[in-house]
Structure formats: structure tokens, C-alpha cells
Amino acid sequence: MSQARFTRMADAGVAVVRGTYAERGDQYGDTMESCEWLTLRAVAKEVLGISLSKDTCRLLAVAGLVDVKHERQVGGFKLDHLVDGAAYTQLLIGEMEEWRQRKVVAFPPKGGDPDQPHRSRVG
């Protein structure tokens, strides 16, 4: 029996997304791991008065990138926006799953190091 259309089309789309992010990963390096999120940290400190960990910054930045990629369709359809958006959405799923497993607070106790895990349970 042949695969359902949804499965065939989704598998084809996943192959395009994987090919694109693999190529870009080779070009850009592992920026999601190496980025220090200096601007995001500075803004969080200034606006919210909190120090965010590198992991929390990455999670929030990826969520923002998902929004940006989908919003770009407002200027007209472009397949690249869907491909990038799908990759960032998959990344966000992975980041959220990792965060849920860690269940650490988004920011440290007063005076704590934001890059050290804090084992307080959240939500």
C-alpha cells in the first residue's frame, strides 16, 4: 500500500529542511551552542532587571526567530521563509524538551551565576 499524501509530502518537506540547515550549519558553524547572547542578556538586565542564563537566552531567541520567519510571509510567499521557519520550529521543540527535562529556573537567585544550573522546580 502506498503512503498517504500527507506522509509523502511531509517527508519531502523534512528532507528539504534538513538539507538546508545542514548546509547552513556547515557555513556558519555551531552558533546556537557558541553564542553568548550578549545583547539579549544586556536588554534583559536593563528592561527586566534579571540576568538570564545562556540556555534561557538561546530558548527565547529561537522562539523569536520562529515568529520572525513566519511573519516574513506578510511580504509575500517565499519558500525559504517556510523552510527556515520549519527548521527553527524544530529547534524550538528540541530546546523546549531539553528545558522541560532540566526544569530549572529561567534566572538565578539574587547574586547567583546565570550560567550555573539552578535546581529549583518551575511550573
Domain-embedded: residue 117: no
In this prediction, residue 102 carries a pLDDT of: 83
**What's the pLDDT band for 105 if we cut at 50, 70, 90?**
low
Domain-located, residue 120: no
CB atoms within 10 A of CB 111: 6
pTM of the model: 0.77
Q: Answer whether residue 72 is part of any domain.
A: yes
What is the DSSP secondary-structure string of 15-70?
Answer: HHHHHHHHHHHHHH-SHHHH---HHHHHHIIIII--PPPHHHHHHHHHHHHHHHHH
The secondary element (H helix, E strand) that includes residue 88 is helix 79-102
Residues of the domain holding 55 = 5-102
Residue 103 DSSP SS3 = coil
Residue 96, in any domain of the structure = yes
pLDDT in tens, 30-46: 999 999 999 999 999 99
Contact 74, 89 (CB under 8 A): no
| Number of domains composing the chain | 1
Which three cell numbers mark 16? 528539504
Percentage of residues in the chain having pLDDT higher than 90: 75
Q: Looking at the domain assignment, is residue 123 inside a domain?
A: no
Q: Would you say residue 121 lies in a domain? A: no
